Amino acid sequence: MRLAQTRRHFDEIDSTNTYAMNWTDAPDGALIVADSQTQGRGRLGRHWTSPPDVGLYFSLVLRDLAPEVKARLSLVVGLAVAQAVEECAEISVQIKWPNDVLTRDRKIGGILCEATPDRVVAGVGLNLNQREEQLPERPIFPASSLLLQTGRSFDRDAVLNALLASLELGLESADWPTQRAHIEARLYGRGDLVHAGNATGLLQGIGDDGALLVRTADGVVEVRSGEVEFF
């Protein structure tokens, strides 16, 4: 697989994911990137704030993924985001299941994966150079940016290229146990008491299909959807 050999760039767009879902003849690995989004979307229909020229907003069209790769795609993309941020910003990054990227308990990025019968679209929003006033208010896991966390600004193309390189390796890898170990090493709240789905217990790790593993009084429960609440 070669990602982003076909690219479309927009100064402004409603949503890169919406465009990618509707781009009928988009080839495998096609990239849609925008300087800003007017209707950026996050998980569960939430709005992703996308002010101009300060963040990284893009979507990839992925075709012919194996079912097991589709099931854990959000985590594989999250790992690529974490690795790129660690490389470019030299800060530690956590992956909050199923699709958030955090540093120092603050949200810096999110992933939205959506599927149709002929493709999966992987969308990423990553806060690079936002100032405080450009970020939304969040009562839990306040929003931040790499600029605010490091005191320096970042080149969007450099971060994008690092992220695509990491993701391409991740998608081509057949070694899920090693990938899972890298994800679990960054898994936010591992070992903590959580409530996820219908399970309350200790956050243990990630299952073979990307499910969250919660150790309850009755044994390990696999959670495949829902929010994670931390106590």
Tens of pLDDT along 118-131? Answer: 999 999 999 999 99
Complete domains list, the chain, with CATH: 7-185 (3.30.930.10), 193-230 (no CATH)
* Candidate from 32-41, 172-181, 192-201 with smallest mean pLDDT: 32-41
pLDDT at 42: 63
> Which whole number is the average pLDDT over 77-90?
98
The rounded Cα 142 to chain-centroid distance in angstroms is 16
Query: Measured between alpha carbons, how far apart are the two ends of the chain, in Å?
Result: 41
Contact 50, 34 (CB under 8 A): yes
